[in-house]
Amino acid sequence: MGSPLPSGTKLDRYEIISQLGADGMGEVYLAEDTRLHRRIALKILPTEVASHHDRMRRFTQEATAAASLNHPNIAHIYETGEAEAQPNPWLVNRQS
């Protein structure tokens, strides 16, 4: 995906605080949900995943399945989305 997003970058209602990690499945950031005033983990998918129809379908299925679960050892999915400023899809979940 290139260089990490700098602190203060805004994607929709999320403001980047810092990068938590990165791997082949994307970059994860600590961010602030400016609407609900809570810290979240924001995972941005790499272009290689976002541009592949079957991988995006699987991503959406997995996010939907995970969002239906309620267990203390499973991160709660708040939403998936994308913004004009960041065309790659993202996944938002509870920051642990």
Q: pLDDT tens digits for 45-75?
A: 888 888 888 988 888 888 898 889 988 888 8
Does residue 78 lie in a domain region? yes
CB neighbour class for 44 (10 Å; exposed up to 12, middle 13-18, buried from 19): buried
The pairing of beta strand 77-83 with beta strand 26-33: unpaired
Number of domains in the chain: 1
Does 87 or 35 have the greater pLDDT score?
A: 35
**Domain with 34 in it:** 10-94
Q: Find the CATH number of the domain harbouring 21.
A: 3.30.200.20
* Residue 1: inside a domain: no
Cα 86–Cα 27–Cα 16 angle in degrees, nearest 5: 60
Say how many residues make up the chain: 96
Whole-prediction pTM value?
0.83
CB 6 within 8 Å of CB 16: yes
Q: Regarding predicted confidence, which is higher, 77 or 49? A: 77
pLDDT for position 24: 77
